Structures are given as structure tokens and as C-alpha cells.
Structure 1
Amino acid sequence: MEHAPILVHRISPSGGRRVVIRVRGVDTVLGVAHSDADLIEFLRRIDLPDADDLVRGDSEAIAWQGGRPHVYEADSEAAGP
């Protein structure tokens, strides 16, 4: 399977996750998301249709690296569901 075009990196020590989009093998940093709302806004800014559905659904277009999806703070990761 080809890599997902949207990468949400591991949680940084200060909180938040770097968001990168990969187009034709070139990575572009969209910003650091501290919530799903931030991630959706980054995707809207690049005119990605249905950003809400993409983030809130189970999309193969987004790869969540180094932690659970939709978690943006290190303390939340350790706490579990």
C-alpha cells in the first residue's frame, strides 16, 4: 500500500502534532495541530473537500504516527480511553 498523503506525527513533548501533506513525493508542513479542529482547518486551507468527514472518519488518507488518533497531548495518551 502507498503511504497516506496526510501524516499526523507523534505528539511533541510540549503538546500538539505536526501535520504534513505528501504530494508527488514532496512533504509540506501544514502546521502543528492541538485538536481535530486544528487539523480540519489545515485541510480546509488547502481546499481539501470534506475535511470534517476525512478527519472524523476512518480514512486511509491520514496516517497517525506514534500514538492513538485524535490525541494531541502527552498526558492524554498515557491516560488511555
Structure 2
Amino acid sequence: MDSAPIVVHPPFPSGGRLVSLRHQDREGALGVAYSDDDLVVFLESAGVVSPENVLDDPQLVEWSGAGAHEWRAI
């Protein structure tokens, strides 16, 4: 796979970021995260083992349109 299977999209103007999954077995939106804690919950639901340890792994998580761990629009 050329790109990360989890995408954290750019922040919405009101805050929060859409989190989506692109994987051969499952694709689609996981939800809107407003914090790292929310993201961890979504990753757990997608079957990621130890999700709190992969947030900064670019092979698994792509932070698109804003820096990692930024939840408000800039």
C-alpha cells in the first residue's frame, strides 16, 4: 500500500477532523474526532492494536491538511 490506511482530514472550521479508513477490506468514514482520545477510539473500532502508539506512524496514519494533533481550524 502506497499511502496510510487511516486518514485524518483537515479540520472543519468549527473544529474536529473527519477520520476515514482506506483498506482493501473496509473503507469509509470512521467519524469526526475532536481530540487524540477520539481518534484512539476510532482506531480501536477499526481493529488497530495499541492505537495510542500509532498516532505518529506515517505508515498507518496520514494527517492531511494540518499538523498532527491539531483539532481546530487554523
TM-score, normalisation: structure 1: 0.81
Aligned to 2:67: 68
Shift of residue 45, structure 1, vs aligned partner: 1.5
1:17-64 superposed Cα distances (whole Å, 9 cap, x missing partner): 000011118631000000000000011122210101012xx3021100
In structure 1, the residue matched to 2:35 is 35
Identity, in percent, stands at 38
Q: What are the residue-to-residue correspondences of 1:1-81 with 2, within 5 Å? A: 2-24=2-24, 27-55=27-55, 58-60=56-58, 61-74=60-73, 77=74
In the comparison of the two structures, how many residue pairs are matched? 73
Q: Higher helix fraction: Structure 1 or Structure 2?
A: 1
Larger RCO of the pair (alpha carbons < 8 Å, separation 6+): 2
| Gapped regions of structure 2 (runs ≥ 5) | none
| Superposed structure 1 runs of 4+ greater than 4 Å apart | none
- Distance of 1:35 and 1:45 partners within structure 2: 16
Alpha-carbon distance in structure 2 between the residues aligned to 1:26 and 1:48? 13
Please report the RMSD computed on the Cα atoms of aligned residues, expressed in angstroms: 1.6
1:48 is aligned with what amino acid? V
Query: Which blocks of at least 5 consecutive residues in structure 1 are unaligned?
Result: none
